[in-house]
Amino acid sequence: MRLQDLNWMDVERYLQTDDRIIVITGATEQHAYLSLLTDILIPSRIALAAVEREPVLIAPALNFGVSDNFIDYAGTISLSRSAFDLILTEIVESLMQHGFHRFFILNGHSGNAQPARLHDLHMDNEIRVEWFDWWRGDVISTFESQYNLKLDHANWGENFPFNRVAESPDEIKPPVNLALLEGDTNPREVMGDGSFGGAYQIDDALILTLFDQIVEDVVERLRALRTL
């Protein structure tokens, strides 16, 4: 259930019974051999799968985030922190005008963070906000421990069938020493192809099992949001 599939009258009817909405945030940035829109495609697919079980309206995704560390990679589009905060805040405030009160912000990019204004609105009980980084839930840590893996930028943990645009190397990349990014060092000299290290890909059956577990987590969070 997406805004793009509705007209304004449909939205008014939705608001008669529900005031929840999913807002997807992410980035357009390098992900080694994966799509530049990986940080949008993953949370978007999670949201679409989740609302099949818990019907909640999905707003159009904010495709750009704070990606200055990757700006030397072709195709990366970065916003400043202040620009991201302003844009996201104004999106939420626009939706507030129509009666949306409970916001599930499904974030796909580690460079993004909840704007202070949204935190203040939440604390003042003007709105309810749950900010969820999909890769930071208990589901992920349990999966990592079970299979002795570590999810990181552009490695197996972001390599789903739906965001592949090229063949990934069949190898394990040594972890990138991100401390070397300090100073005037060129990020591409440190990160190489852009992956932060580890296996580039794991068996599809395994990664899709993880996907289903993430969706289940999001469904439970959406249901809990309705009662807040």
Look up the CATH number of the domain holding residue 35.
3.40.50.10310
Domain with 157, as residue range(s), is 3-223
The structural domain count of the chain equals 1
Residue 15 has pLDDT above 80, yes or no: yes
Helix axes 38-51, 204-227, angle to 10 degrees: 60
- The letter for the amino acid at 36 is L
The pTM (predicted TM-score) of the whole model is 0.95
Taken as a whole, the chain contains a residue count of 228
pLDDT at 163: 98
Tell me how far apart the alpha carbons of residues 221 and 228 are, in angstroms, rounded to a whole number: 11
Write down the H helix ranges in the chain. Answer: 8-15, 38-51, 81-96, 116-123, 138-147, 187-191, 204-227
* Residue range 62-99, pLDDT digits in tens: 999 999 999 999 999 999 999 999 999 999 999 999 99
Tell me, yes or no, whether 228 lies in a domain: no
Nearest to 41 by CA among 160, 178, 184, 193: 160
Mean pLDDT (whole number) for 44-67: 98
In a domain, 181, yes or no: yes
pLDDT tens sequence across 157-180 = 999 999 999 999 999 999 999 888
